[in-house]
Chains A and B, each alone.
Chain A
């Protein structure tokens, strides 16, 4: 049984080697197993792993007896972290009330709660970062990082976080408000047997992508599917096309450049791919339709989040399991590729009454030992060590992991942040989503649609 008293003071000071962590986690074969573990086995797991957390010079029991509310979206991170939370409670004596909602419910309800100054949730997944920081809904984290009772920089090992994840934490005022919890990048996934049947290679240029998609397109299988629904959250893959063509939506100086020649060319390619080789009904395609079609074998090529690899590799869900080759976004001319990227982040409610307990939760949830456990379930965490672990490579797929990692390194976090972190990001992306939809359906050509989007964004930003 677990002896709570041994956590009553600061950590033991014992340093745990990366090798030891890897040995422990590889023995666990994944959090999927952990999720179904009976209580006794969970306690055993805790006994096995506890020193990896207690080796930190952190007073984990400082907030013993408190309860925090975690508001989360239905998401792989939530699925991976939920079964691990009892380990946190054992470690700290802090109870965690996890409230999970669909993304639609979440983004509709949480702003109203936070806007009304509600003290709960204490910790939440942050969906519109610019909005949340501008509105003052996030507690700055720098103070916690500097608190010797609640933080141990050497144990935390900030360098292990991907540079892009670190850049996501920091707002333009230089303050850290966010804790990155996932890492995903835009990649291509291609049905390999279909590619081989046609004797084609993985495309490395945009022209090659168009030719390949057209060649694979038939009455039964669409050549390519990418998001095209007329909503702001459909714009993420198209953003990667624009960056790769050397364009931007909002440039680093805050100018609206969505109708620049580079952006228009990128969207002409994006729309051309979907018009010529996309499935019927592309107008209503969000990421879920793209993923489902690919997993059902109804689409030959997809271009979306690397996180899809876990589902694609699951033979219970996907006929493309074991038959998919992953690749980075193709080049446009001789310009470097800049696929889109994303880190989900969690933050502390600035009105929370349990900020220290909330911080301890974030420290624990994104620590290397916890990331190793969650990555064993296939979660793409923001820690490089977790990506290198055998358990993650087995679950996610080594080739998918290598491709996603290469894409993450190629992505331009600053370009992404200029748009997606903008205080009026939702308005900007809404106008972009309308243009994207009109281009993909042929309702408008790329130039006219992007000009209209630029005018709408200018008007929204001026208003």
Chain B
């Protein structure tokens, strides 16, 4: 290839990459930099004329606030609980579906349906179903002679219900990744283990699961990041209550930004959330070292 053709090719590649790069920078980097700038300011939409850079004051105020640490605790508990439940259920269902039967295509479709539903629409439906006096869940409990439950009324119950709704919505995501991992898996080590007399549980826990780790690592990172910033489920079902028992970091940022219009402080919360997410994903992936497939035998 002569130098002119090489230049043309480079120009062509550059031209093709430009729209995507501009879009990416415009939609991610610019808002991030603006948020970062806001986080160092006292920007309030109520008093925009008083704008000033206050540098780390927002962060100091945040770290001194019990409300912030309460939100951190709730966010972490919710994230761990939701991802753990989804991981167990998703991998379990994927493993059961892996042994093909005639019902599998239909079952797979049913299990994947929650992923296809608009989250807010689904959550509003849950809100109606969870209504203590008119909802279907308490109606069913009454039909079998059990007392109605206050699904969102106490801190523990509210958090449990939120985790359950999140698991309903997102278990199929783990299922999808785990099913993909199972389909791509080399069957030979499993057959060898079977020949050696290993039982189904032994094969699953000692051979199948380790070989699934790389896939599950990706699923856990994606789901953890997503669960960490869950908003719609909590906003619609509890609004952060009872009290502030389910007020997560994202909800706190929303309240500060869009209800109280304290954009500087809200941006500082968002920046801290971003840093926490980056630290978690880096530490998780490096410590667990899941991207290196493990030998099954």
* A interface list, Cβ under 8 A from B: 104, 107-108, 111-112, 114-115, 131, 134-135, 222, 229-232, 279-284, 289, 292-293, 296, 298-299, 423-424, 426-427, 430, 434, 437-438, 441, 443-444, 463
For the complex, give the distance between the alpha carbons of A279 and B133 in Å. Answer: 7
Q: A430 near B45 (CB under 8 angstroms)?
A: no
A267 smallest CB distance to B (angstroms) = 14
Q: Does B164 contact A (CB under 8 A)?
A: no
Tell me whether chain A's interface is mostly helix, strand or loop, or mixed.
Answer: helix
For the complex, give the distance between the alpha carbons of A416 and B101 in Å. Answer: 66
Residue from A232, A283, A441, A444 within 8 A of B259 (CB atoms): A232
Q: Contacts of A231 on B, CB cut-off 8 Å?
A: 239-241
Q: B45 near A280 (CB under 8 angstroms)?
A: no
Q: Contacts of B46 on A, CB cut-off 8 Å?
A: 131, 134-135, 423-424
Residue from B132, B237, B241 within 8 A of A437 (CB atoms): B241
A134-B47, A298-B133, A424-B260 known; A430 vs B242 contact (CB < 8 Å): no
Those of B250-265 within 8 Å (CB) of chain A? 254-255, 258-261, 263
B14 smallest CB distance to A (angstroms) = 33
Q: Does B31 contact A (CB under 8 A)?
A: no
Q: Does B191 contact A (CB under 8 A)?
A: no
Convert B152-177 into 0s and 1s, putting 1 for each residue whose CB lies closer than 8 angstroms to a CB of A. 11110010000000000000000000
Q: Does B238 contact A (CB under 8 A)?
A: yes
Residue from B61, B154, B238 within 8 A of A230 (CB atoms): B238
Closest to A427 in B: B260
A111-B45, A135-B47, A283-B153 known; A229 vs B131 contact (CB < 8 Å): no
Q: Does B138 contact A (CB under 8 A)?
A: yes
| Interface pairs A-B: 7 shortest CB-CB | A230-B241, A281-B132, A115-B45, A280-B132, A283-B153, A283-B242, A281-B150
Interface centre among A112, A131, A222, A437, by most B CB within 10 Å? A437
Those of B217-275 within 8 Å (CB) of chain A? 235, 237-244, 254-255, 258-261, 263
Closest to B158 in A: A283
Q: Does B48 contact A (CB under 8 A)?
A: yes
Q: Does B17 contact A (CB under 8 A)?
A: no
Closest to A456 in B: B67
Q: Does B116 contact A (CB under 8 A)?
A: no
A230-B244, A281-B152 known; A112 vs B132 contact (CB < 8 Å): no
Residue from B48, B133, B158, B261 within 8 A of A280 (CB atoms): B133
A135-B45, A279-B133, A280-B153 known; A108 vs B239 contact (CB < 8 Å): no
Q: Contacts of A423 on B, CB cut-off 8 Å?
A: 46
Q: B151 near A230 (CB under 8 angstroms)?
A: no
Q: Contacts of A281 on B, CB cut-off 8 Å?
A: 130-133, 150-153
Q: Contacts of B154 on A, CB cut-off 8 Å?
A: 283, 441, 443
Closest to A280 in B: B132
Q: B48 near A135 (CB under 8 angstroms)?
A: yes
A430 smallest CB distance to B (angstroms) = 7
For the complex, give the distance between the alpha carbons of A292 and B134 in Å. Answer: 9
For the complex, give the distance between the alpha carbons of A42 and B151 in Å. Answer: 49
Q: List 9 A-B contacts (CB under 8 A).
A: A108-B254, A114-B45, A135-B46, A279-B133, A280-B133, A284-B130, A284-B153, A284-B237, A430-B259
Q: A229-B239, A281-B133, A430-B259 are in contact. List 13 more A-B contacts (CB 8 A).
A: A112-B258, A115-B45, A135-B261, A230-B238, A279-B133, A280-B148, A284-B152, A284-B153, A284-B241, A423-B46, A427-B260, A441-B243, A443-B155
Q: Contacts of B150 on A, CB cut-off 8 Å?
A: 280-281, 283
A227 smallest CB distance to B (angstroms) = 12
A82 smallest CB distance to B (angstroms) = 24
Q: B134 near A298 (CB under 8 angstroms)?
A: yes
For the complex, give the distance between the alpha carbons of A289 and B149 in Å. Answer: 16
A143 smallest CB distance to B (angstroms) = 22
Q: B258 near A111 (CB under 8 angstroms)?
A: yes
State the interface size on chain B (CB cutoff 8 A).
36
B157 smallest CB distance to A (angstroms) = 9
Closest to A284 in B: B152
B139 smallest CB distance to A (angstroms) = 12
Q: A284 near B133 (CB under 8 angstroms)?
A: no
Closest to A289 in B: B131
Interface centre among A111, A114, A293, A444, by most B CB within 10 Å? A111
For the complex, give the distance between the alpha carbons of A114 and B258 in Å. Answer: 12
Closest to A463 in B: B61
Interface centre among B151, B158, B237, B241, by most A CB within 10 Å? B241
A296-B134, A298-B134, A430-B255 known; A115 vs B241 contact (CB < 8 Å): no
Q: Contacts of A427 on B, CB cut-off 8 Å?
A: 260
Q: Contacts of B132 on A, CB cut-off 8 Å?
A: 279-281, 284
For the complex, give the distance between the alpha carbons of A396 and B80 in Å. Answer: 51
Q: B259 near A107 (CB under 8 angstroms)?
A: yes
Closest to A234 in B: B239
Closest to B149 in A: A280
Q: Contacts of A282 on B, CB cut-off 8 Å?
A: 153
Q: Contacts of B237 on A, CB cut-off 8 Å?
A: 284
For the complex, give the distance between the alpha carbons of A232 and B238 in Å. Answer: 13
Residue from B131, B242, B255 within 8 A of A441 (CB atoms): B242
Q: A111 near B241 (CB under 8 angstroms)?
A: no
B150 smallest CB distance to A (angstroms) = 4
Q: Contacts of B258 on A, CB cut-off 8 Å?
A: 107-108, 111-112
A462 smallest CB distance to B (angstroms) = 12
B253 smallest CB distance to A (angstroms) = 12
A138 smallest CB distance to B (angstroms) = 13
Closest to B142 in A: A219
Closest to B258 in A: A108
A414 smallest CB distance to B (angstroms) = 22
Q: Contacts of A279 on B, CB cut-off 8 Å?
A: 132-133
Closest to B235 in A: A104
A104 smallest CB distance to B (angstroms) = 8
A280 smallest CB distance to B (angstroms) = 4
Interface centre among A230, A231, A443, A463, by most B CB within 10 Å? A230
Closest to A221 in B: B133
A112 smallest CB distance to B (angstroms) = 7
Closest to A134 in B: B46
For the complex, give the distance between the alpha carbons of A437 and B61 in Å. Answer: 26
Q: B259 near A426 (CB under 8 angstroms)?
A: yes
Q: Contacts of A284 on B, CB cut-off 8 Å?
A: 130, 132, 152-153, 237-238, 241
For the complex, give the distance between the alpha carbons of A284 and B162 in Å. Answer: 13
For the complex, give the distance between the alpha carbons of A402 and B151 in Å. Answer: 39
Residue from B133, B235, B242 within 8 A of A438 (CB atoms): B242
Those of B46-87 within 8 Å (CB) of chain A? 46-48, 61
Q: Contacts of A434 on B, CB cut-off 8 Å?
A: 241, 243-244
A427-B260, A430-B255, A441-B154 known; A293 vs B134 contact (CB < 8 Å): yes
Q: Contacts of A229 on B, CB cut-off 8 Å?
A: 239, 241
